[in-house]
Chain A
């Protein structure tokens, strides 16, 4: 998890993820077209993102395609946010139940 936060703690790497979010499965050259960084810098950032499992790669012939991999972010979501989502849903369902019971009493 440390690797994920370290990888995300850099605006250029977040921009790279934004690029993949807009259009998934890009090659290094395609990614470089939209970014104001040298090819070497993009390569270096991609390695860090891949090590953190935020970017997954597949080969198509000679092309290496880069994909935004949401799995580590989903695990962060499950750890700190999912719980609250469930409470909110339960609160809503209690509210509904309470209001419907009130209606019934009238």
Chain B
């Protein structure tokens, strides 16, 4: 939830049959993200204030940000600044948060994406992407294989 009281744009909730530790690893380990997140590797030491990068196979940066909250394995939040075009680079960073709540044999994961500028190109680019990424993550953790993109 944003600190400035602004309404989040997206809230996605999924239940994944895994443990919070495994899910944390899936969100923070580049080798793991490469398998379900469109071939991209996430890179950070996950200390508050450290940079986060999302790297393509060719080494280019899709988006970058800064770690805001890192409470393993419950809460992960970072700024999200897309680099894929001049238009995206010009706008200010939005904010992405993952909350992990263990429930019996599953983990409830809540993805919140907020603090977009109005008419945000990042909003346009990401709004259809999250359900596909989250479904692929769920499939990878539950069955060992991601969904084909």
Contact = CB atoms under 8 A, between A and B. Distances in A.
A60 B9 CA distance: 13
Interface in A32-91: 53, 56, 58-61, 65, 67, 69-71, 74-75, 78, 82, 86
A24 B127 CA distance: 13
A5 B129 CA distance: 24
A56 B13 contact: yes
Contacts of A24: 9-10
11 contacts: A25-B9, A56-B13, A58-B11, A60-B5, A65-B8, A69-B11, A69-B12, A71-B12, A74-B134, A78-B147, A86-B148
Interface of A: 24-25, 53, 56, 58-61, 65, 67, 69-71, 74-75, 78, 82, 86
Nearest to A50: B13
A9 to B, nearest CB: 21
A interface majority secondary structure: mixed
The main secondary structure of chain B at its interface with chain A is: mixed
Nearest to A74: B131
A67 B1 CA distance: 13
Contacts of A25: 7-9, 11
Contacts of A70: 12, 131
A74 to B, nearest CB: 4
Interface of B: 1, 5, 7-15, 110, 112, 131-132, 134-135, 138-139, 147-148
Contacts of A59: 1
Given A56-B110, A71-B12, A61 B148 contact: no
Contact of A78 (B8, B9, B135): B135
Nearest to A61: B5
A54 B100 CA distance: 18
Contacts of A78: 135, 139, 147
B135 A53 contact: no
Contact of A74 (B9, B110, B135): B135
B39 to A, nearest CB: 17
Centre residue among A53, A69, A82 by max chain B CB count within 10 A: A69
